[in-house]
Amino acid sequence: MFSPFQKFLRKHAALRAFLITIVFMVAFTLVGALIDRLVGSQPGPTPIPVPPFPITDSPSPSPSPSTIPPPAPFADGSCLTGNFRSSSPDAKNVPCSSDNADERVVEVIPGATDPSACQGVHNATLGFEEQEETEEEENGVIVGEIPGPTIVYCLVSVSQ
């Protein structure tokens, strides 16, 4: 005769299938573990993971990109040649004794964005703006150039 549990399982086929599946899963897991234990290889030494960045004794810069502003290409007192009345003067540094010298730099205003900043500068008759390119650096390596700060040069004619 059947026990009450067996009678219950005969009436509920879905529950019976579920329980049989669970029993087979447990059996396969135990058999697989036994086979792995008998046949499987011994675990080797665990490799040491390589850090994602170089290790140094000194503090390193942050991994985020940084910018290094270059010095202004034309210093106070340097003489320039170029068409300073145009929108792109193509200024070039020349010796002040040269016949090509048109203008002399009387003041450099870093960060200014308008040549009218030269209006209050003594003897300045002209101002021109130039945007510098800045090197982009990441972890000490230059990765490109980005538009940098603007510089306004206040000029006076060399003939004055």
pLDDT tens digits, one per residue of 26-54:
999 999 888 887 876 565 555 666 556 55
- Bigger pLDDT: 156 vs 160: 156
Same domain assignment for residues 75 and 145: yes
How far apart (Å, rounded) are the C-alpha atoms in residues 50 and 70?
36
Domain residue limits at 30:
4-39
Two tokens, residue 132: 């510098």
In the prediction, which pLDDT does 128 show? 82
What's the total number of domains in the chain? Answer: 2
Average pLDDT, integer, range 7-26: 89
Angle at 147 between CA 143 and CA 148, to 5 degrees: 100
- Inside any domain, residue 49: no
- Inside any domain, residue 34: yes
Q: Closest Cα partner for 139 from 51, 61, 70, 69?
A: 61
In the prediction, which pLDDT does 48 show? 60
How far apart (Å, rounded) are the C-alpha atoms in residues 107 and 93?
15
- Inside any domain, residue 74: yes
Same domain assignment for residues 82 and 131: yes
In the prediction, which pLDDT does 63 show? 47
Report pLDDT digits (tens) over 108-147: 888 888 888 898 888 888 888 887 666 667 777 766 676 7
Is residue 64 over pLDDT 70? Answer: no
* Helix 13-39 and helix 4-11, axial crossing angle in degrees, nearest 10: 100
Q: How many other C-beta atoms can be found within 10 angstroms of the C-beta atom of residue 135?
A: 15
Place of tokens 């193509």: 90
Same domain assignment for residues 77 and 127: yes
